[in-house]
């Protein structure tokens, strides 16, 4: 035997909860073929806490003692019981299964790749070759979406307006606050309850500033929380992406549009689990040329709209 590969019917490998997953295991056997002892397929979905190598080691030590991986799906499918003779060349073994949660009380959370938390779905295949040959293994990840957190519910827009002035400062890092420039910056985010498939939009305007503005940015932040012993929650905020809306001496009186697309895999619908949370925030960041930086923090809620036009095949 030379190689084994899993190939899913859908090229983007993206499925909705409740959808049927179809594919083939492609076996490429060398001259003379081979006889398998067994061919097994395994489907796993897991929420796990991870250490990326750059994460906070102290947080890792505390959470690892408390957070246990959550199994969302665990399927074992036997494609061949053993004894089948496979000829040389390519052979396709079809398979299919329905994406259903292992525990009815815990849904299939959407695929998510974070710094500390991740939700991953994987299909693995093992071809047992017998006593005198090495078993062949392969795997492929796939993406799971949920078809909507609401049905026939109209969610009104939650417009968030903001006004930044020296008087609205809440936490000043520098002790010498007398050097803070005079400024007035106003704007809005058009909705803080966001369909994850639509962009976040709004606008920002520099009304006045006594100091030159070096950079104007909008930052998307993930806030990952895990429960630990004692019922406390440890949370860490990390940047997902940062978009610069203005650079240099930003024009005053110009209404600058805010437009941000939520990146696939690095975001998911806001998730409040039994022992973990995945939430999101927007930071409006203004950096002055003299080194001062001000930030307006805006919590947002992400959801995936229920769209009956997005049908899937069972």
- Is 150 a member of any domain? no
Residues 209 and 251 in one domain: yes
CB environment 10-49: b (16+ within 10 A), e (fewer): eeebebbbebebebbbbbebeeeebebbbbebebbbbbeb
Give the Cα separation of 120 and 109 in Å (integer). Answer: 9
Extract the tokens encoding 81. 């019981």
Q: pLDDT tens across 3-23, in order?
A: 899 999 999 999 998 899 999
Range of the structural domain that residue 253 is part of: 160-303
Residue 221's CATH number: 2.60.40.640
Whether residues 165 and 134 fall in one domain: no
Q: Are residues 202 and 259 in the same domain?
A: yes
- Residues 6 or more apart whose Cβ sits within 8 Å of residue 249: 212, 213
Q: Are residues 71 and 205 in the same domain?
A: no
Which of the listed residues 90, 115, 145 is the one where a domain comes to its end? 145
Q: What is the pTM (predicted TM-score) of this model?
A: 0.85
Taking phi first (over 0 means left), then psi (-120 to 50 degrees means alpha), and beta for anything else, what does residue 286 get? beta
- Give the pLDDT of residue 308: 52
Considering its fold, how many domains does the chain have in total?
2
* pLDDT at residue 85 in the model: 85
In a domain, 138, yes or no: yes
Instruction: Spell out the SS3 assignment of the chain.
Output: CCEEEEEECCCCCEEECCCEEEEEEEEEECCCCEECCEEEEEEEEEEEECCCCCCCHHHHHHHHCCCCCEEEEEEEEEEECCCCEECCEEEEEEEEEECCCCCCCCCCCCCEECCCEEEEEEEEEEEECCCCCCCEEEEEEEEEECCCCCCCCCCCCCCEEEEECHHHCCCCCCCCHHHCCCEEEEEEECCCEEECCCCEEEEEEEEEECCCEEEEEEEEEEEEEEECCCCCEEEEEEEEEEEEEEECCCCCCCEEEEEECCCCCCCCCCEECCCEEEEEEEEEEEEECCCCEEEEEEEEEEECCCCCCCCCCC
- Is 151 within a domain? no
- Residue 231 region, left (φ>0) first, then alpha (ψ -120 to 50), else beta? left
Question: 247 and 282: one domain?
Answer: yes
Q: Which portions of the chain are predicted below pLDDT 70? A: 1, 51-66, 131, 148-155, 171-179, 230-231, 306-314
Residue 177 has a pLDDT of 56
Per-residue model confidence (pLDDT) at position 312: 44
* Residue 310 within a domain: no
26-81 pLDDT, tens per residue? Answer: 998 888 778 888 999 999 999 988 765 555 556 666 666 667 889 999 999 999 88
> Contact 125/89 with Cβ under 8 angstroms?
no
């Amino acid at each position: 035997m030379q190689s084994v590969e899993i190939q899913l019917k859908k090229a983007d490998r993206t499925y909705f909860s409740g959808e049927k997953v179809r594919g083939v295991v492609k076996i490429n056997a060398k001259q003379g073929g081979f006889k398998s002892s067994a061919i097994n397929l395994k489907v796993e979905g897991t929420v796990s806490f991870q250490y990326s190598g750059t994460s906070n080691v102290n947080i890792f030590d505390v959470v690892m003692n408390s957070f246990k991986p959550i199994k969302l799906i665990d399927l074992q499918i036997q494609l061949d019981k053993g004894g089948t003779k496979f000829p040389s060349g390519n052979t396709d073994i079809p398979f299919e299964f329905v994406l259903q949660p292992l525990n009815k009380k815990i849904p299939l959370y959407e695929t998510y790749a974070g710094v500390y938390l991740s939700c991953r779905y994987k299909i693995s295949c093992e071809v047992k070759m017998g006593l005198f040959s090495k078993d062949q293994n392969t795997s492929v990840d796939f993406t799971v979406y949920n078809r909507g957190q609401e049905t026939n519910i109209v969610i009104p827009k939650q417009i968030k307006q903001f006004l930044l002035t020296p008087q609205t400062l809440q936490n000043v890092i520098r002790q010498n606050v007398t050097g803070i420039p005079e400024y007035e910056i106003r704007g809005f985010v058009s909705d803080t309850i966001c369909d994850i498939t639509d962009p976040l939009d709004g606008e920002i305007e520099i009304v006045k500033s006594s100091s030159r503005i070096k950079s104007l940015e909008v930052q998307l932040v993930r806030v990952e929380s895990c429960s630990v012993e004692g019922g406390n929650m440890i949370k860490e905020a990390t940047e997902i992406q940062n978009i610069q809306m203005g650079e240099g001496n930003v024009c005053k009186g110009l209404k600058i549009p805010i437009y941000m697309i939520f990146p696939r895999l690095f975001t998911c619908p806001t998730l409040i689990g039994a022992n973990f949370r995945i939430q999101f925030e927007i930071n409006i960041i203004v950096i002055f040329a003299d080194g001062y930086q001000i930030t307006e923090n805006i919590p947002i809620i992400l959801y995936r709209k229920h769209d009956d036009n997005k049908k899937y095949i069972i």
